[in-house]
Structure 1
Amino acid sequence: MPYDFLISNETSSTGRVVHCAQLAGSSESKFVIGYSTMYQGNTGLFNTTVDSQKVYKPADYESRFGFWSYFIYPTAKAESKGSFSCLNTYDRAKFTFSFMQYAAHVPNGDFVKFLKNLLTLPNAGAYFPKLIIKESRIFYKDQNGTLSRLEDDNSTMPLMNYFNPSLSEIERQELICSARMVHWATNDPEHRRVQVETAIEHFKKNMVEYDKRFELNQIPAKVCQLVCDIRHQGRAKNDRIAAALNTGGDFEVAYRNLLTIGDTNYAERIKTIDSTISELQAKGLFSKKYNASDNSFIDT
């Protein structure tokens, strides 16, 4: 039976409009979907609330993913403080969700892969009853059974519009889709597992590509992590990264060089990455180096 959500809003103590939802026909409490905001002329939602019980903790996933669960952690902290219900609907992606902020505007990108995996879960029909997978693509199925493809190799615009019809106002469809995602992430550990699995698969795939470009074999994990984070955020292109790595094998200098990339505009993010890596190293959890032969990290 598809879930229905009762939508409401109120004004917070800071004067910001907060949008809430409650699962219809249940005794569950209301929960926050997101807060109204404006960004470069767009109107949308954001949710950066961190629930200590629903936040990414590498140790929770170490048995399944090994060191990779720690490798992605600095970026997760920088993206969302690890919040599994991190949401924004106000920028050009129209809909971004998860602890790694998967954005809906990229064809075959993280959000598309993430959503496809979500739609294979047993309770997917309760949250998104009109979305189905056919021939490896996401389709919308209307009340007459007619299918409309929402994404392909060239565009995700129909998918973006399904989750968020416009950037000029906050629509009911946008609120309902956001409520579904927040509730699902909060209440289902399998949803959170898919978030983590998507991130790790993405970073593993990227490490293969970055090794081809930057020759990262036997390079310390902290240097590799910074390369991944720079590319994940998009704060520099390959030539700038290659120049930072060109230190004649002095990995400490390479690490410090990478920390300077984007420091004018992204100082807080870089500080978070650096401090998180330092914390993991102090606990003996990040003393690894990359092994290109099998795309893994091994002890130094």
Structure 2
Amino acid sequence: TFQRVYSGDQGLFYGLIPGSDLLLDVDVSGNSIQDTVAFQLSKRGNKWFATATNHTDNAEFYVGSEIKRASIGYFGIFQSASLYSGPKFKASDYETTIDHWAYLLQITGFCESKNFFNVMNTYDRAKFTFGFYQLAAHTPNDNLILLFRRFTESPKFKNYFPELKIINGALHRVDENGSATNLEIVMNTGPNGARQLQLFMNYLNPIRKKIDEQEVLHAARLIHWAKNDKKMRDIQVDIANEILQHKMSKVYHKRYDLDGESDIICAAIADIHHQGRASVKRVKIALASANRLDALIDINANYTNRSAHLRQALKELTDAGKIGNKVYHAATNEFV
């Protein structure tokens, strides 16, 4: 019967099932982990918690709450805003190093995470998003993969992600036998064949519709590391700043001719495109309207909460005299 159905003799497949070498043997007790930070994972109701059992900071902490909404394709964990905790990004802490860009980061950071460094979610298309600037895993050569590449330069990286290594400039998962899997291979596996980092996504969150211990472990690792290492938080700021400056100069200015434009308008445009809630065409229409700022803030009626948060962030910094006094200088990619 087998031969009839499958058209003759079948060869045996001795290789790994695609992606299976990305799976970790997660010990939820943490007892088997000796040389790196060990995490005990536990679930109460729909909430996950973790304890770094062999670290000086060994207090139990909240990782995230489960969400399963098949109607909109959401499966994973997220953090309720009321339960956010830990260090926060403040522009004033970084103004001396990254200048006025710190305030643009604070605006979008407020909208994304209330500027908490350790916010994450695993439920949407990207499968994993992390940080105060909410960098997503799916984008090739952008966002979260840039952050992880830079993380590898930290002496504490191996304490949290011992199975990751840069090989020939790309992030790899190295298994216990020394076999390496390139997590930066670009695949056309996204919606409508969009290019994305499928293996990086699968390493962070193996199965989209199942909430598994591996995604919880990775979230716990990042949350704990962000709380306990200022240099890790500084790396988040460096990468977010590099992304913002690059896109302002190479993308947004070329689209909208921003030379001489107010920092407030630039901040609104950057926030719109960081979240991806409007097309270039719609932004151009907003910029041509009588009240450009309101048109940008309210550019998409499906994002009323985001609009309210953006309006609040802009108002607070304007009232404090931190924005509204500078314009974008394209030749130097600075605000003057």
**CA gap 1:34/1:63 in 2 versus in 1, 3 angstroms:** same
**CA gap 1:128/1:242 in 2 versus in 1, 3 angstroms:** same
Deviations, residues 202-250 of structure 1 (Å, cap 9, x unaligned):
1111111211111111111001111111111111111111122225xx7
CA contact (8 A) 1:108 1:153 kept: no
Unaligned runs of 5+ in 1: 12-16
The amino acid of 1:182's aligned partner reads: I
Q: 2:63 aligns with which of 12, 27, 33?
A: 33
Q: Paired residue for 2:258? A: 216
Q: 1:257 aligns with which of 281, 295, 316?
A: 295
Q: Distance in 1 between matches of 2:96 and 2:127?
A: 35
Query: What SS does the corresponding residue of 2:327 show, helix, strand or coil?
Result: strand
Unaligned runs of 5+ in 2: 1-34, 188-195
Measure how far apart 1:160 and its partner are.
0.9
Q: Paired residue for 2:47? A: 18
Q: Paired residue for 1:136? A: 169
Q: Paired residue for 1:68? A: 101
Measure how far apart 1:75 and its partner are.
0.9
Q: Distance in 2 between matches of 1:259 and 1:101?
A: 19
How many residue pairs match? The answer is 287
Q: Distance in 2 between matches of 1:72 and 1:111?
A: 16
Deviations, residues 125-158 of structure 1 (Å, cap 9, x unaligned):
1100010011111111111111111113444111
Q: 1:5 aligns with which of 24, 35, 39?
A: 39
Q: 1:187 aligns with which of 216, 225, 228?
A: 228
Deviations, residues 62-85 of structure 1 (Å, cap 9, x unaligned):
121111111121111111111111
Q: 1:175 aligns with which of 202, 209, 216?
A: 216
CA contact (8 A) 2:297 2:307 kept: yes
- Is 1:207 the counterpart of 2:248? The answer is yes
Q: 1:197 aligns with which of 238, 260, 265?
A: 238
Q: Distance in 1 between matches of 2:223 and 2:276?
A: 26
CA contact (8 A) 1:184 1:191 kept: yes
TM-score by length of 1: 0.91
Q: Paired residue for 2:78? A: 46
Q: Distance in 2 between matches of 1:26 and 1:108?
A: 33
**Identical positions, percent:** 33
Deviations, residues 40-70 of structure 1 (Å, cap 9, x unaligned):
344311124322x511111111121111111
Q: Paired residue for 1:231? A: 273
CA contact (8 A) 1:2 1:125 kept: yes
Q: Distance in 2 between matches of 1:50 and 1:157?
A: 29
Query: What SS does the corresponding residue of 1:62 show, helix, strand or coil?
Result: helix
- State which structure, 1 or 2, has the greater radius of gyration over its C-alpha atoms: 2
Q: Distance in 1 between matches of 2:259 and 2:283?
A: 16
**CA gap 1:68/1:41 in 2 versus in 1, 3 angstroms:** closer
Q: Distance in 2 between matches of 1:71 and 1:22?
A: 34
Q: Distance in 2 between matches of 1:99 and 1:140?
A: 25
Q: Distance in 2 between matches of 1:236 and 1:65?
A: 28
The amino acid of 1:21's aligned partner reads: A
CA contact (8 A) 2:118 2:132 kept: yes
Q: Distance in 2 between matches of 1:96 and 1:260?
A: 25
Query: What SS does the corresponding residue of 1:178 show, helix, strand or coil?
Result: helix
**CA gap 1:210/1:150 in 2 versus in 1, 3 angstroms:** same
CA contact (8 A) 1:19 1:35 kept: yes
Q: 1:78 aligns with which of 108, 111, 117?
A: 111
Q: Distance in 2 between matches of 1:109 and 1:176?
A: 23
Query: What SS does the corresponding residue of 1:72 show, helix, strand or coil?
Result: helix
Deviations, residues 108-134 of structure 1 (Å, cap 9, x unaligned):
120110111111101111100010011
Q: Distance in 2 between matches of 1:25 and 1:71?
A: 38
Q: Paired residue for 1:14? A: none
Query: What SS does the corresponding residue of 1:32 show, helix, strand or coil?
Result: strand
- Is 1:162 the counterpart of 2:203? The answer is yes
Query: What SS does the corresponding residue of 1:288 show, helix, strand or coil?
Result: coil
CA contact (8 A) 2:147 2:235 kept: yes
